[in-house]
Amino acid sequence: MGEVTVPVSDRDASAEPDGRITVTRQGHVLLMGIDRPEKYNGLTPKMFSELADAFTQLDEDPELRVGVLHSFGKHFTAGLELTKFAEGMKKGDSVTEEKAQARVDPFALKRKCSKPVITAVQGICYTAGIEMMLASDIVIASKDTRFAQLEPRRGLMATGGGTLRFIERCGWGNGMYHLLLCDGEFSADEGLRIGIVQEVVEPGTQVARAIELANRIATLAPLAIQETKRSAMLYVEEGEAAAKAVLDQVQAKLANTEDAAEGVQSFIERRAGNFKGR
């Protein structure tokens, strides 16, 4: 299992006023950091473009197995910096503005990442921040996290997946309660109760915990992990019949891999598997 090292930002805010996304490799794990803390990590078009690049790198690099999305400073993100997106919204432009849908969409509304992503959140996590974390697979929240899905207060609606994934994760009543009331912030414990958060941890430990879980996943057979995510996504998007229809053929494909042979051998020898992703 890889060593847990939490990245530290060295960004010069005056040189990069529109923020940036940091990319750090730790073994088979890719850390993607939102870095604009002086503006509550408010998201700009530049940052979304860099996020798409980072997610695409994770998806396409065979040596990378798991991603961790995190942020620097006291807050995850206050959401979009609306003044930088308002004109595009009037034209119906997508926030992510993917070029021919070639890159992975951080909201997972277009091209999706085939590999697991864990999101670590803290402090303010509003609007687009919630939608990005809900596009990931596992969410680790600091106890001080404050969530809010507030778009109707600005005459807009959540279009980064919030209207879909609140219902998917929480059920109709809990989803509508927070999507429609827009009644201010709710806590990490409430997020855990309704299902948008999987673990609540002490402040300052959320990124380390996310990396720890990512490292654990990265020790497993990567092809099997990716097919597990793909099967679950197929169920959500196309239903039970579609997911069931391909179970046997996918399992047969996996059973004929080198990793499956290694899995059997490691079972016989009572040791951890050494998986190569082939």
Q: Which residues contact 14 (CB under 8 A, 6 or more apart)?
A: none
Residue 2 in this model has a pLDDT that exceeds 70 = no
**pLDDT (tens digit per residue) in 157-183:** 888 999 999 999 999 999 999 999 987
Task: Kindly state whether residues 97 and 117 are assigned to the same domain.
Answer: yes
Mean pLDDT of 119-137: 96
* Residue 13 included in any domain: no
Domain CATH code at residue 60: 3.90.226.10
For residues 185 and 188, what is the distance between their CA atoms, to the nearest angstrom?
A: 10
The confidence band for 99, taking pLDDT boundaries of 50, 70 and 90, is low
* Residue 7 included in any domain: no
Mean pLDDT computed over every residue of the chain? 91
Domain CATH code at residue 233: 1.10.12.10
236 by Cβ neighbours in 10 Å (0-12 / 13-18 / 19+) ranks as exposed
Look at residue 271 in the predicted model and tell me its pLDDT. Answer: 85
Q: Supply the pTM of this predicted model.
A: 0.92
* Residue 6 included in any domain: no
* Residue 262 included in any domain: yes
Segments forming the whole domain that contains residue 91: 20-218
Task: Kindly state whether residues 118 and 187 are assigned to the same domain.
Answer: yes
CA-based diameter of the chain, in Å?
62
Give the total number of structural domains in the chain.
2
Task: Kindly state whether residues 170 and 183 are assigned to the same domain.
Answer: yes
For residues 56 and 101, what is the distance between their CA atoms, to the nearest angstrom?
A: 11
Look at residue 100 in the predicted model and tell me its pLDDT. Answer: 47
Residue 32 in this model has a pLDDT that exceeds 80 = yes
Give residue 137's Cα distance to chain centre.
6
Residue 1 in this model has a pLDDT that exceeds 50 = no
For residues 232 and 191, what is the distance between their CA atoms, to the nearest angstrom?
A: 22
**pLDDT (tens digit per residue) in 226-261:** 999 999 999 999 999 999 999 999 999 999 998 999
Task: Kindly state whether residues 178 and 244 are assigned to the same domain.
Answer: no
**pLDDT (tens digit per residue) in 101-123:** 699 999 999 999 999 999 999 99
Task: Kindly state whether residues 171 and 234 are assigned to the same domain.
Answer: no
Tokens of 195: 């299902």
Look at residue 86 in the predicted model and tell me its pLDDT. Answer: 52
Task: Kindly state whether residues 259 and 192 are assigned to the same domain.
Answer: no
| Residues written for the chain | 278
**pLDDT (tens digit per residue) in 194-222:** 999 999 999 999 999 999 999 999 999 99
Task: Kindly state whether residues 135 and 117 are assigned to the same domain.
Answer: yes
